[in-house]
Structure 1
């Protein structure tokens, strides 16, 4: 008999018997009470408790704990089920967690696994207390007496919501089940009430009642509509419970997902990669859901290696279940505020021998590796679209090392994580948290959202390094724990990453490559097919190069022979490549000639758009911004280009554009999309350029294209729309780390860029995304850049004041620029003061505040010079107002922290600032 122990805060269901090694007897999945405070010894903080029918959950010593309503007698939804298949367990866990996330209390139970009368009594008590009863109906439910009883009970109360899992409501007819009609009941049908000694009348009454349930209350789930099914269930249950806020939240979430989930539309011309998709499914789920693509599975059976892998994964599931508990003990996580690491043996290192190929199946993480241009992004995008219904949300993250942390923190809005209400004081030490502590807390909150029983799919595309570029964090610190409901897919060019086995992406087969290269052309002669095969070998079988060939043949309507002759006649540019750059461009001259040929065919505006894109961030680009940057680049009028263009005009059988025709940005972007140099994004008016094309454009465009990009961002950039590209412009302007500054702007342009973009970007970075180190570095480099520009102006200004006419327009312009620069410098210092005060670095904040006040005092003294009023700093109304706002912020921060040391340090500074404010006001009055 199980012992029931009840406390004021929580209720546990505990069994004294030791768990069986074969997993045949599992703790009864009866959901009890939600504790107001979790016991530290039994309940892990990082994950929600869940129903785990496959292994009995993560409970120890026979204790089974699940989150549930505050009182069992005030339950909103009762969910009954039968079976412990991984798919059913995953679906029920998701539904329960989704309901609890929306504030709906629910209880999940499989009464067939209750071990004693007390557990059965508690389950029946929950049934009677529930406002709505939902039963997950599978084929096994019709031979389960408890499922039949639950259906009859809730049908009688008229609060029944059936959830058909793997079945259609039209298949659940009494006559079809008894007479074994249809493919479904041919093996599992018959007089099922006999199997458990039930009454025929009661069984028929329950099954026949399913057909009388209103169609609006029926929910039918299959492997390809889980998300829609659970969303519909939550919406329906919230509506029946009268919870309007639940329905509104579900409606807003659906609207947001439709807009912001995946970055690109689905590739309707996706070719091949069936085996790789099947491998990814096994790595993440560990099993293949029923109702999938049967043709795909049949084709994979022809491979002996695939048969062996499937036998290891499915034919030996019992062995895997026995090993699962031991593996989970070996993979112990150690988590602290400073580091997150995985312990046990060699961490994630794989065993040797044949076990290595199947050791990562079902772990929830997969890594796809391969050279550039093989189609890693296309494979991940196809998998995300194909299996998106099995996840609440697909979180797509660009893995470029400079933008990884920012892309990760962009998930805050998608996950509805609100960090603005976090207390900045550390309760243990009674002082502000440090920058590292606040950044760690933000990462922990995001990871915690992804470690619920709600499944997410995290896709990290093109991961360049295991460590973050900014502070050296390991990418493991961004990821949730392996083995949970959230799955992770990573694509990288590195041979090995995170010490896990990679799925190495191979080349397309000859038939698939030929289909990709032919494009829309059909019935090619044998000689032309041989030419395509030769081009395939010269391109190194790169999927991107094959797709380019197919697009050119389709768009220009030329034969493969003429295309090959044109590519061979294209001169190879003398470009120097370093050893760290992409080997596809370094070792494949024929591919470079193909790119040059495409540039010769492009409209001049389209060519310059590609050249400018090389210096943008690796994210979607606003077409108008890219066009503006392209207009800053001079058109290439070299003799070789003209000669090649004239030669191509004679080769093309259909000249559908004129060489000197000026085209609009829509036509130029459309040309890039047709030739696969750019791809359409999910957001209208934006395009994305492939990384290989961007790297080639950086080499070919040079510094001129970089300057054009920075000027375009400075003039038309918007932080909500182009924040990543503003960061890219900052990387070109300022000296981050050991990287040199590539672009140098005029002083007026630099002041405008920092004032309009860099400063607001830094403020947004630490206020909205809690990236304090990045914001601090950006503010520091902006200050250094202004100081360097200030020295240049001071040199010329001193000559003008000593030897020139003070009323000369040039002298007045230089003085005005100097005053604007100094004011901006003071504003930057004041922003850094606020940032340092927020992180508790009061000594640095005091020093910066003194410097800012000194700068403003110098400006007040400079305003006394006999210069016309429009150029006086005292005539600028913002001078005193800016200083007053800084003083107000400093006083508020001082009152907030109320620390004696900070108050003493800042008191003299504040007094001096107040005196300067009075002087500034007097100067304005005298003017």
Structure 2
């Protein structure tokens, strides 16, 4: 039989009508409700079952049983049409059968073509519940049902059908169940295992059932996710029995254990199929998996390992995440309170899965209409018109609408569920949570605790600093965690060269596309300063889409509102929790009189979690009584808390409104300067330079290198140092001042012990991160000396990859940027060293590794301008010296002489910058500008080094490439 040409079908709006009479109308522009083509999210490029190149969209349903029997008898066995499942184009983003090279061996079946034989039965319409309705015959019998599509299909169609390795079957209306199954499918596809996922009870047309049936018959393994409602659905029971007969069943208990299975067996033992399925599962010990909300990640990993081993696939090397290395800080063992907030976040992100599960656990009538639920179809809406149900399937709608529509269709009693703070039902999950609160109230600690508690529900936790200057780079840094290549395009001799804007947008889209798909990630944006991106002014909506897929987002911020989300207002700790926190790590009990001073601390600090933690750290480390500590802090001079130079207006306002907190931090600083009886304590100087680094983890080696550049100064707190000694003299036995902090690492950990910084999780070395309030405080006075030491330390040990944020911070200090003036003024030779060792490698790394083309070129341009200004100053000095009087020359000649070596270094470095800019402009198609810069570079090197010098010849080769590329346009 010749194959018919398949017409193109419009996929924008597919409408199907399911009549109450039980008959089904299927037109060329219709699509089956909840068919396998609708399993995937709306973002995936997907071909539905009726639009498959191997299934005619003009399929005709046989409504006459006699005619159907005749066609079945007449048709030869070799002409049976096999429908092909839809083709997946997006890997794990699609929920249907991707094409792979693996094809399990086909199985031969003997079957009868007698229409009365139960081994072969054609269902001519969607089953409707009723006493006369027989249950549909499925793949539990030797051969699948015959397709209704006209025309034959080539063997390639069947090859694609049989290329599926694993079938994942489940049943239930719990959104967390759907989330877990999609995660399992995405993980298996990441391992190179082709999967098909389905809840067949939600299929409302025969063609979708036939596709699923044929996949089930051809797969190598069947993973059945078993829930309580699975045993009330005959389709799930069929799947369990079928795969058990083929001995390729892998049951996975979702929120169930063996005891619950046995109890179900006792209650439902009267049903033969249910009893058989229960017995099969109870006897399956080799590959049985169990999961609950505490081990999702481990279970998915174990299932992938089993299937990978059984299928003989190579192991995919993944980043080891044991111990939660993806989290930036260790878990806070002293975390107290916030249980209500954590439950509120959980309810917002995961919803009330129990309500869905209870509704779906009602036994369904065999052969009845499958549940018209949201299931895996992401975008749908339904309206009852007349006696039929019209389902309009359109792309690009929000998931929340679907779930609300699902609740309406199933007549949930909404009055049972409390309203959440956003006004939506708590059984309806959202994907973004915004935590709002004042500085130091504990937003970061809350997000960190939630991440540790629920890390098993996510593939990975992605932590991003939300500070405006570094936010874009922090997002691109996620490419290293996700294993993505976001590097800029290499030079292209042929083909179209993309502009810099296109390359940057593509790099950003790759990270965004990987984060927001079926693979569940937890993205935490900590301390978001603004919704507008600092470099290009892009909105936060460009990062966080409306449909975040399986990813959840938590934002901590001081902004009143972010992206129109109702924020979770974080209030100060309750009095009992505050008293626990202020007692410190040792949780020492005090007399009633001392407890009064603890309450005074609480009142003076405004119940700031950060301030309470610092006080608790002092009480624990100094072994001092609260009354003595309160008296010592009160003796801090007022002028020490009012100086706010080098701070922005908001930071100055914060210092003025929190004077007692500033006094406590001054006390900590004085304590550091007194440690080891040394005025130049390493820990104290680390605190000074740490204020000017980026708000990100920093290695102790880099911090110490910068701290050593600070000159030894007199004690700024000499006025009341004696009072401090008197206050601490009775506690010298266990005081920090009696300890010898010899190593740099110990000095850094001293800052952690006092609560001024956190220890960061890094694989190598010791890393810490300063609290934002600590950085604000440390900038208040004598900041310029520390800022210059910061630049010198970064020039010595800075790494463009691991320390990119801190090197950018140094660049801001030296060059300013935008409307901000420079903070640090460097001499000509120091500027040469800084550009050569820090700025130039930073720009090249940002361009090539992270596609930050415009930012890198802007940095190189600023460096070039600074060197040109240095050259002008040299020329000006020469001119002033030449036009001065003889006596003036004789007197100041030795002092005013220009260092020719420095001048030469400045000029040659300028040529290097010009050549580098030309090479980078070549990658973006800016040939004219690159050619001008390269010619200038060649002129400088010809004069300074000679025409035949290696560097001059290299620049000439770059120029030749630019000319050749320009000529091809």
* TM-score bucket (shorter structure): 0.7 to 0.9
Q: Report the 3-state secondary structure (helix = DSSP H, G, I; strand = E; otherwise coil) of the residue aligned with 1:16.
A: strand
Q: Which position in structure 2 is the counterpart of 1:371?
A: 438
What corresponds to 1:669 in structure 2? 748
- Contact kept, 8 Å, 1:135 with 1:161, in 2: the verdict is yes
Q: 1:80-479 counterparts in 2 under 5 A?
A: 80-169=169-258, 171-173=260-262, 176-179=263-266, 190-192=267-269, 194=271, 199=272, 203-215=274-286, 217-244=287-314, 247=315, 249=316, 252-255=317-320, 260-287=325-352, 325=381, 357-359=422-424, 362-420=429-487, 431-479=496-544
Structure 1 residue 772: deviation in Å? 1.2
| Equivalent in the alignment of 1:869 | none
Mark the structure with the bigger radius of gyration: 2
SS at match of 2:531: coil
Q: State the distance in 2 between where 1:540 and 1:710 align.
A: 36
Pairing 1:594-743 to 2, within 5 Å after superposition: 594-602=664-672, 603=675, 604-633=681-710, 634-638=712-716, 639-640=718-719, 642-652=721-731, 654-658=733-737, 663-683=742-762, 684-743=765-824
Cα 1:230–1:11 shift into 2, 3 Å? farther
Higher relative contact order (CA 8 A, sep 6+): 2
Residues 107-158 of structure 1, C-alpha deviations (whole Å, 9 max, x = no match): 1222333435544433322111001111111122223322222222222222
User: Aligned pair in 2 of structure 1 residues 810, 18: CA closer, same or farther (>3 Å)?
Assistant: farther
Residue 830 of structure 2 corresponds to 749
2:779 match: secondary structure? helix
In the aligned structure 1, how far is the partner of 2:346 from the partner of 2:541?
Answer: 22
**Structure richer in helix, relative to its length:** 1
Whether 2:769 is the aligned partner of 1:769: answer: no
Aligned equivalent of 2:900:
815
Unmatched tracts of structure 1, length 5 or more: 52-67, 180-189, 293-316, 336-341, 343-353, 860-872, 901-927
Distance 1:291 1:521 in 2: 43
2:614 to 536, 544, 548: 548
User: Gaps spanning 5+ residues in structure 2: where?
Assistant: 21-30, 52-87, 97-156, 358-372, 384-390, 402-418, 676-680
Query: Which residue number in structure 1 is paired with residue 920 of structure 2?
Result: 835
Give, in angstroms, the shift of residue 622 of structure 1: 0.9
Distance 2:309 2:8 in 1: 32
Confirm whether residue 858 of structure 1 aligns to residue 943 of structure 2: yes
Q: Deviations over 1:30-89 (max 9, x none)?
A: 4699999856999999993449xxxxxxxxxxxxxxxx9982222111112122211111
Equivalent residues of 2:379, 2:394 under 8 A apart: no
Q: From the superposition, tell whether residues 893 and 78 of structure 1 become closer, same or farther in structure 2 (CA, over 3 Å).
A: farther
Q: Give, in whole Å, the separation in 2 of the partners of 1:330 and 1:560.
A: 66
Does structure 1 retain, via aligned residues, the 8 Å contact 2:37–2:46? no
Contact 2:175 2:356 in 1 (8 A): no
Match of 1:79 among 156, 161, 168: 168
Give the deviation of 1:325 after TM superposition: 4.7
Q: Give me the whole-angstrom Cα distance separating, in 1, the residues matched to 2:275 and 2:243.
A: 15
The answer to whether the 8 Å contact 1:448/1:480 transfers is no
> Structure 2 vs 1, CA of residues 536 and 323 (structure 1 numbering), >3 Å: closer, same or farther?
farther
Q: How does 1:489-504 map to 2 (within 5 A)?
A: 489-504=554-569
Change (3 A) 1:232 1:291: farther
How large is the Cα RMSD of the aligned pairs?
Answer: 4.1
Q: How far does residue 237 in structure 1 lie from its aligned partner after superposition?
A: 1.1
Query: What is the rounded CA distance, in whole Å, between the counterparts of 1:838 and 1:258 in structure 2?
Result: 41
For residues 322 and 855 of structure 1, what CA distance do their matches in structure 2 show? 62
Q: Which deviations, in whole Å up to 9, do the C-alpha atoms of 1:158-199 show, x marking residues without a partner?
A: 2221111111246534xx4343xxxxxxxxxx02553xxxx2
* Residues 623, 735 of structure 2: 8 Å contact kept: no
Contact 1:401 1:464 in 2 (8 A): yes
The farther-off stretch of 206-215 and 386-395 is 206-215
| Counterpart for residue 575 of structure 1 | 643
Task: Please identify, of 657-666 and 571-580, the stretch whose mean Cα deviation from structure 2 is larger.
Answer: 657-666
* Paired residues, number: 791
Change beyond 3 A, Cα 1:323–1:358: farther
Shift of 1:329: 11
Please say if residues 33 and 69 of structure 1, whose CA atoms lie closer than 8 Å, have aligned partners that are also in contact: no
CA distance 1:422–1:751, change in 2 (3 Å): closer
Separation in 1 of the partners of 2:442 and 2:652? 15
Rounded to whole Å, the distance in 1 between the matches of 2:521 and 2:657 is 39
Taking the aligned partners of 2:617 and 2:602, their CA distance within structure 1 comes to 14
In 2, distance between residues paired with 1:394 and 1:607? 33
Q: Distance in 2 between matches of 1:753 and 1:580?
A: 31
CA displacement, residues 400-441 of structure 1 (integer Å, 9 cap, x when unaligned): 1000000011111222222458688899xx743222222112
Match of 2:958 in 1: 889
Residues 18/608 of structure 1: CA separation in 2 closer, same or farther (3 Å cut): farther
Change in CA separation of 1:847 and 1:892 when aligned onto 2, cut-off 3 Å: closer
1:608 and 1:635 in contact (8 A); partners too: no
Please say which of residues 112-121 and 664-673 is displaced more in the overlay.
Answer: 112-121
TM (normalized to structure 1)? Answer: 0.77
What SS does the corresponding residue of 2:290 show, helix, strand or coil? Answer: strand
| Partners of 1:107 and 1:243 in 2: CA distance | 18
Distance verdict in 2 for CA 1:661–1:32, change over 3 Å: closer
Report the CA distance shift for 1:658/1:362 in structure 2 as closer, same or farther (over 3 A). Answer: closer
